[in-house]
């Protein structure tokens, strides 16, 4: 068959797909049923779901991805149309409705686009950082229910791709860098698009998804061996969990997690932590309200915290990697208990003493970074990065307990993750993500201090390539999500510091990318280029030089360097370069290419 990238560029195919997506406004059930049958047929004649990753036929994976992309586009478009219709009806009923919060998913009728990290795309806002005007929105509207038989059928077929991703994760050596091959990229895209569809199903037919999760937990509890299949627990990672649904999950696990075998407990702990983060990121206003009211999340998270504490004690330190991060998130769901623990409230309540001890254990583990204790220090770093991230969702004027914890461990966390002599620890993708989350959170919490310490460190010429990649990724995240919460600073405040060094970094890689210094870090080089292009597309003024006397030549140089990316063998880089150049040709930006005297003379040579 034809390669996927060629197929997706075929005008006739594009027209057909667009017609199917447009028709999904009114006929989603019929379209979803037929696409799922087609997907099942493609998968039936292979062992792709259970095979070793390296043995999977490329044509099968590409066919599955193509169908899943269409199906996910249809569900997203249908939901967007449905919510747009409801919004019009609401506007017609009351033109004087309250303003919508910047965290409300109803702004611009955007549906969250779940990535392989399960982070929804943030809605836009025009609040411009006015935190005082922030107010929690009403919950967004779930899409119309599909027929239960159809929802169950789609879930049965798509659940197989959770197994595929689990097999892929198991095939990556824990001590080495993650695979960056074509097969790994396709599997990641398959999981992302399958996750989008499951996200829709969980919103439209939550009872179907929750029933499947409960059945899997019951099966695992009854299993007599450690090899029982746990991949379906990943349904929680890709589900649309609001506070009510998350409470149901927490309550279910309070009653069942102790009955699971240890391997299943570890998987469940990892998945539940991600599910809690999905709730915070998709429904930030619910989390803000929880913190402001100092009330606990429903579902008894404090009880689940105690159960996890017992499980850790019975298998210390092997279980810390899975349970400490989960316990951290469960404690965040209990703002009153977190306050008592952080303030060292000396109470006779045994549970509160346990939470005090947990925070002390984390702090001691992070500070005790000796060779024998380094594993626990790594886990503690993950927990504190979660606390830093969660702190950014709380207004600085709310006197949040979360924000009060950060200064006590900030310096230790920086020295742990950003040590130039020993980049943490193997420069693989997981560590890049942790470092990126840390840098992003610390900048949002204390921009000036972070600029003076971490950002200046990452911009040094002799800084490890991992640090430069982390900085670019962090800036990408800040720029793309700056309007999500009104108290976050504008990315434009970073332009004077970053514009020059980033242009130099980009042009250095483009002109010296074949030299030994970059050949050792090919994966980092590719990711830096890709993320810089995406950053320039989000904030073109970061690339356009306006401060120098002869900025026309500088602008010509950077635009031509981006143009060279159109010949890159990596399709993602070519696509990002094309989108960035298109953005640069915005009329307002063309005005900035050169001085008023020579802008037309500069435009035509470029």
CA dihedral of residues 61, 62, 65, 69 (deg, nearest 10) = 180
Tell me what pLDDT residue 129 has: 39
Give the count of beta carbons closer than 10 Å to the beta carbon of residue 240.
24
Q: Give pLDDT, residue 274.
A: 96
Res. 409: pLDDT tops 60: yes
469 close to 429: Cβ distance less than 8 angstroms:
no
Q: How confident is the model at residue 353, as a pLDDT?
A: 79
Selection from 346, 386, 396, 339 nearest residue 362 by Cα: 386
Sequence-separated (6 or more) residues with CB below 8 Å from residue 322: 265, 266, 267, 269, 270
* Least confident residue range of 44-53, 84-93, 273-282: 44-53
pLDDT at position 106, please? 37
Least confident range from 34-48, 158-172, 325-339, 356-370: namely 158-172
| Band (137; pLDDT cuts 50, 70, 90) | very low
pLDDT (tens digit per residue) in 284-330: 999 999 998 888 999 999 999 999 999 999 888 889 999 999 999 99
pLDDT, average across residues 43-61? 65
Share of the chain above pLDDT 90, in %: 50
Q: What is the 3-state secondary structure (H, E, C) of 250-310?
A: HHHHHHHHHHCCHHHHHHHHHHHHHHHHHHHHHCHHHHHHHHHHCCCCCCCHHHHHHHHHH
pTM for the structure as a whole: 0.86
pLDDT at 90: 73
> What confidence score (pLDDT) does residue 245 get?
96
Write down the pLDDT at residue 512: 75
Per-residue pLDDT of 436-455, as tens digits, reads 999 999 999 998 899 899 99
CB 451 within 8 A of CB 405: no
Residue 125: the pLDDT is 37
Question: What average pLDDT does range 328-334 have in this prediction?
Answer: 97
pLDDT score for 86: 80
pLDDT at 93: 72
Q: What is the pLDDT of residue 300?
A: 96
Asked if pLDDT for residue 58 goes beyond 80, the answer is: yes
Average pLDDT in the chain = 82
CB atoms within 10 A of CB 283: 25
Interval 490-504: pLDDT, tens: 888 888 889 889 999
What pLDDT, on the 0 to 100 scale, is given for residue 548? Answer: 58
Q: State the residue for tokens 């009330």.
A: 295
Q: What is the pLDDT of residue 140?
A: 66
pLDDT value for 556: 82
Task: Tell me how far apart the alpha carbons of residues 519 and 203 are, in angstroms, rounded to a whole number.
Answer: 46
- Going by pLDDT thresholds of 50, 70 and 90, the confidence category of residue 544 is confident
Residue 239 burial (C-beta neighbours within 10 Å; 0-12, 13-18, 19+): buried
pLDDT in tens, 261-279: 999 999 999 999 999 999 9
| pLDDT at 603 exceeding the cut of 70 | no
Q: Binning pLDDT at 50, 70 and 90, where does residue 111 land?
A: very low
* Per-residue model confidence as pLDDT tens digits over 551-594: 677 788 888 899 999 999 888 899 999 999 999 888 787 777 76
Query: For residue 167, what pLDDT is reported?
Result: 66
Which pLDDT score is estimated for 47? 45
Mean pLDDT of 240-269: 95
Rounded-to-integer distance, Cα 441 and Cα 470, Å: 13
Instruction: Examine the pLDDT at 433 and tell me if it is beyond 80.
Output: yes
**Nearest in space to 64 (alpha carbons), one of 149, 151, 157:** 157
Show Cβ contacts of residue 76 under 8 Å, excluding neighbours closer than 6 positions. 111, 113, 196, 200
Query: Residue 278's pLDDT is what?
Result: 95
Integer Cα distance of 194 and 198 in angstroms: 6
Residue 363 has pLDDT above 50, yes or no: yes
Cα–Cα distances (Å) from 438 to 29, 172, 540, in that order, read 42, 24, 25
The pLDDT of residue 98 is 46
DSSP at 455: I
What pLDDT is attached to residue 233? 93
Q: Is the pLDDT of residue 112 over 60?
A: no
Mean pLDDT along residues 479-494: 82
- What mean pLDDT is predicted for residues 105-116? 38
**Is 70 exceeded by the pLDDT of residue 48?**
no
- Residue 210: pLDDT over 80: yes
């Amino acid at each position: 068959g034809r390669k996927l990238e060629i197929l997706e560029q075929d005008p006739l195919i594009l027209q057909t797909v667009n017609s199917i997506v447009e028709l999904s406004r009114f006929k989603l059930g019929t379209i979803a049923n037929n696409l799922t049958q087609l997907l099942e047929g493609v998968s039936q004649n292979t062992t792709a779901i259970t095979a070793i990753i390296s043995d999977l036929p490329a044509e099968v994976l590409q066919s599955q991805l193509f169908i899943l992309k269409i199906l996910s586009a249809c569900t997203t478009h249908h939901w967007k149309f449905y919510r747009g219709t409801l919004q019009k009806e609401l506007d017609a009923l009351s033109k004087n409705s309250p303003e919508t919060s910047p965290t409300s998913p109803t702004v611009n009728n955007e549906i969250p686009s779940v990535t392989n990290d399960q982070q929804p795309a943030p809605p836009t806002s025009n609040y411009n950082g006015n935190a005082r005007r922030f107010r929690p929105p009403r919950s967004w509207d779930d899409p119309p229910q599909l027929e239960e038989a159809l929802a169950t059928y789609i879930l049965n077929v798509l659940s197989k791709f959770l197994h595929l991703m689990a097999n892929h994760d198991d095939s990556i050596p824990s001590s080495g860098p993650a695979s960056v091959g074509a097969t790994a990229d396709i599997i990641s895209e398959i999981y992302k698009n399958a996750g989008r569809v499951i996200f829709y199903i969980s919103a439209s037919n939550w009872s179907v998804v929750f029933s499947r999760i409960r059945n899997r937990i019951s099966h695992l509890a009854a299993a007599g061996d450690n090899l029982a299949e746990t991949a379906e627990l990943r349904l929680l990672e890709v589900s649309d969990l609001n506070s009510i649904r998350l409470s149901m999950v927490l309550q279910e696990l309070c009653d069942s997690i102790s009955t699971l075998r240890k391997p299943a407990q570890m998987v469940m702990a990892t998945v539940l932590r991600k599910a809690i983060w999905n709730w915070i990121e998709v429904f930030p206003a619910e989390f803000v309200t929880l913190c402001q009211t100092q009330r606990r999340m429903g579902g008894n998270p404090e009880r689940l915290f105690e159960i996890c504490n017992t499980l850790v004690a019975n298998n210390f330190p092997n279980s810390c990697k899975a349970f400490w991060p989960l316990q951290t998130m469960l404690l965040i769901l209990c703002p009153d208990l977190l306050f008592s623990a952080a303030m060292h409230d000396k109470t006779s309540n045994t549970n509160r003493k346990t939470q005090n001890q947990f925070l002390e254990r984390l702090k001691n583990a992070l500070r005790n970074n000796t060779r024998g204790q380094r594993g626990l220090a790594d886990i503690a770093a993950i927990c504190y990065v979660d606390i830093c991230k969660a702190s950014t969702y709380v207004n600085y004027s709310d006197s949040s307990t979360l924000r009060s914890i950060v200064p006590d461990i900030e310096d230790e966390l920086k020295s742990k993750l950003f040590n130039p002599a020993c980049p943490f620890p193997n420069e693989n993708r997981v560590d890049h993500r942790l470092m990126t989350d840390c840098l992003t959170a610390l900048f949002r919490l204390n921009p000036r201090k972070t600029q003076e310490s971490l950002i200046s460190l990452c911009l040094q010429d002799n800084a490890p390539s991992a640090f430069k990649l982390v900085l670019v990724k962090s800036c990408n995240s800040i720029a793309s999500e700056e309007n999500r919460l009104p108290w976050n600073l504008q990315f434009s405040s970073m332009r004077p510091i970053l514009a020059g060094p980033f242009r130099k970094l980009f042009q250095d890689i483009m002109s010296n990318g074949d030299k030994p210094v970059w050949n050792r870090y090919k994966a980092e080089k590719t990711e830096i280029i890709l993320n810089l292009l995406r950053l320039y597309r989000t904030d073109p003024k970061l690339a356009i030089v306006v401060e120098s006397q002869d900025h026309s030549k500088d602008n010509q140089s950077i635009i031509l360097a981006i143009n060279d990316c159109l010949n890159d063998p990596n399709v993602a880089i070519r696509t990002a370069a094309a989108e960035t150049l298109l953005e640069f040709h915005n009329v307002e930006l063309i005005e900035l290419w050169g001085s008023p005297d020579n802008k037309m003379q500069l435009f035509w040579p470029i």
